[in-house]
Amino acid sequence: MTTSAEQLETFLQRVPYVRFLGMRAELAGDEMTAILPFAPHLVGNSFIQALHGGVIGAFLEMTALAQLSVAQPSPRVHKTIDITIEYLRPGRALTSYARADLRKVGRRIANVHVEAWQDDRAQPFAALRGHFLLSAAG
Amino acid sequence: MTEIPDLVRQMAEHMATTVPQAASLGFKLVSVGVGRGSIQAPWREDLVGDPDTQVIAGGVVTSLLDHTCGLAMASAAGTEAFSTATLDLRIDYMRAAAPRAGVVAEAHCYKLTRTIGFVRAEAWDVDKSDLIATAQAAFVLNRPRAAAPTA
């Protein structure tokens, strides 16, 4: 029997791209907070030192997948079907946080909303809505 | 085929390769045209999203599509100085890329108003007729003269 924390750690450690981003996560009960420290290679606009839109989207998508790995443990990585990313404010050169809300987890498909913020939880800078194809439980 | 000004070509080269995120992913400019752009992202071990299959991460494809859409926006605006911000980006993933395969994206800014650009993009690994992902994006165009006085 593995704990949720172990499942999450396994997911984060196994995916090379998670390390490329420099993303980590903390678990409080079943609620996960994903954390993305600022790093120079994540910048998309050097003039204002803003995070790349693709990085923001990727961080939100990985947050959804990480939360799903806790809620629906599987030896395989769940698959993204579609995502819509909304950009609300520039992602500044600060640590970013994100939390995923599993709106519906069916037998095969999950609907997930994710919101990301930096220094103020009430001022999100990006959001994601997406569908994910669930891999079989291990 | 409309001739592309050298300045736009230089801007495209700069965008595709020297933006920090683009450089760290090893992006290469494939082509640029009026309102069009194409960029390639090579496969790399540290960019794998599924260790069981060695397939490149969806996040890399997200960055590539966002960046290629931005390039199409920039080439649609021509030599005018401006900055853009992504409003929204929708990506549909048709299938996983082939194991250890890089990805190419091609974007078309099919409408540019004074303030907004609408862009569609496609991505494939091996064969352009067998896509791995499509994208639809809207960008805000910040022209210098339209800049807010507080900026």
Asked if B117 and B49 touch (Cβ cutoff 8 Å), the reply is: no
CA distances from A120 to A27, A89, A116, B121 (A): 20, 12, 10, 33
Domain-embedded: residue A28: yes
Split into its structural domains, chain A has a count of 1
Note down pLDDT in tens along chain B; length 151 residues: 567 778 888 888 888 889 999 999 999 999 999 999 999 999 999 999 989 999 999 999 999 999 999 999 989 987 676 778 889 999 999 999 999 999 999 999 999 998 999 999 999 999 999 999 999 999 998 877 544 555 4
Residue A59 has pLDDT above 60, yes or no: yes
Token digits for B39?
């960029």
* Domain B6-146 classification at class level: alpha beta
Q: How many CA atoms lie within 13 A of A32 on its CB side?
A: 28
pLDDT digits (tens, 9 = 90+) for A28-57: 888 899 999 999 999 998 888 999 999 999
Which of B18, B65, B84, B93 to substitute to test the interface with A, most A CBs within 10 Å?
A: B93
Q: Where are the beta strands (DSSP E) in B26-124?
A: 28-33, 36-41, 48-50, 55-56, 83-93, 103-112, 116-124
pLDDT digits (tens, 9 = 90+) for A66-108: 999 888 888 788 999 999 999 999 999 999 999 999 999 999 9
Range of A78's domain?
4-133
Q: What is the mean pLDDT of chain A?
A: 92
Round to whole Å and give the CA distance between B103 and B126: 8
Round to whole Å and give the CA distance between A11 and B50: 10
For residue B77, the model assigns a pLDDT of 83
Residue A1's pLDDT band (boundaries 50, 70, 90)?
very low
Which domain CATH number covers A95?
A: 3.10.129.10
Neighbour tally for B24: CB within 10 Å: 19
Domain-embedded: residue A106: yes
Domain-embedded: residue A74: yes
**ipTM of the complex, rounded to two decimals:** 0.92
Which of helix, strand or coil describes residue A54?
helix
Instruction: Give the contacts of B75 (CB within 8 A, at least 6 positions apart).
Output: B4, B8, B11, B12, B32, B33, B34, B35, B36, B37, B109
Domain-embedded: residue A16: yes
Q: Which of residues 75-94 of A touch B (CB under 8 A)?
A: 76-77, 79-87, 90
Domain-embedded: residue A138: no
Residue boundaries of the structural domains of chain B: 6-146
